[in-house]
Amino acid sequence: MPNTRLPIYLDYAATTPVHPQVLNAMLPYFSQSFGNSSSIHLYGQQAEGALESARETLASWLNCLPEEVLFTSCGTESDNLALRGAALAARQRKGANHLLISPVEHHAVSKTAQQLADLHGFDLEFLPVDPAGMVQPEWVATRIRTDTALVSVIYANNEIGTINPIKEIGRICREQGVLFHTDAVQAAGYLTVDTKQLNVDLLALGAHKFYGPKGVGGLYIRKGTPILPVQTGGSQERGLRAGTHNTPYIVGMAEALTLAQSNREKHSAQLIHMRDYLIGHVLEEIPDVQLTGHASQRLPNHTSFVFRDVDGNALLML
């Protein structure tokens, strides 16, 4: 008989299942309160009410004003809007032409920055990282220039799990008057997303990394941050992101972030125990294996190894 057993899913850095509580919160907005949030009639008012309630929920966890929260279709779009919108606005406003990013960014950041360099002539500079893939704050401080438009450093790396010292990097950027963006897509389910504590001007989220639906994201934009729209059309999201709101998914993201952040410390402690147990036994029992990323400053749910003479993709398919 064929083997119908599914393998154990361990790829939670790629995506997570939708939590049942999240799904239940979303369901009414598919077929009951299904209106367009831009419409003025009852159905539109219901959708708008749900939308703004979700915005307030995200703002409470981000420790910011509701009007500083913008909804997008995913973390990648959030990163694109942050980089393109802020860089082009900084050039328009003060002639800034320098982008400073880490070499370990998600492609949503690195490829966007590269396109800004290729198509718009920005001077793109990559920060160094240490052997664990971490950016040291002093390296940022010595590379900021008078024409720096934006600094972008990932909160926690999606491949090796290393957590960067975002709070300290943000403080340096704030002191030098330079905008600071962080991609928090991988981190939001396990680390604080308090924007005041992190000293960020722009912070990107993607719901499907913390038990929310795919196809919805968020972007924190600190009040007063100059930014230009990338997607134009209607007046949604204060004119910064045109397009009909995906109300059920936005509601789901708010519910998912609430679940993730309210249980964050307990959940992380459980995961760290299992993570370190796995790391210890793999390093002890398997020869010629190397842990990648930082030994302790890494995501609670993340392990990453290199096995000598073994192709990683082939190993996953066993």
What are 145-166's pLDDT values in tens digits?
999 999 999 999 999 999 999 9
Q: Could you tell me if 257 and 61 are in contact, meaning their C-beta atoms sit under 8 angstroms apart? A: yes
Q: Which DSSP category does 18 fall into?
A: P
First and final CA of the chain: distance in angstroms?
Answer: 19
Token pair 């936005």: residue: 250
> Residue 117 in contact with residue 146, Cβ under 8 Å?
no
pLDDT recorded at residue 103? 98
Instruction: Measure the CA angle with vertex 143, ends 139 and 145; round to 5°.
Output: 155
pLDDT tens, residue by residue, 49-88: 999 999 999 999 999 999 999 999 999 999 999 999 999 9
Q: What is the mean pLDDT of residues 97-116?
A: 98
SS3 151: strand
For residue 3, name the pLDDT band (cuts at 50, 70, 90). low
Is 187:155 a contact under the CB 8 Å cutoff? Answer: yes
**Of 311, 301, 264, residue with least CA distance to 279:** 301
Strands, DSSP E only, in the chain? 69-72, 98-101, 123-126, 148-152, 179-183, 202-206, 217-221, 289-291, 305-307
User: Is-contact 76 231, C-beta < 8 A?
Assistant: no
pTM tops 0.75 = yes
Helix 107-120 to helix 86-94 angle, to the nearest 10 degrees?
Answer: 40
Q: Which of 133, 134, 113, 131 is nearest to 122 (CA)?
A: 113
Residue 159 buriedness (CB in 10 A; 0-12 / 13-18 / 19+): middle
| pLDDT (0 to 100) of residue 2 | 59
User: CA 148, CA 137: separation in Å to the nearest integer?
Assistant: 16
pLDDT tens readout for residues 171-210 = 999 999 999 999 999 999 999 999 999 999 999 999 999 9
What is the model's pLDDT at position 1? Answer: 52
- Sorted by where each starts, the structural domains of the chain and their CATH numbers stand as 28-262 (3.40.640.10), 264-316 (3.90.1150.10)
CA dihedral 183, 187, 188, 190 (to 10 degrees): -170
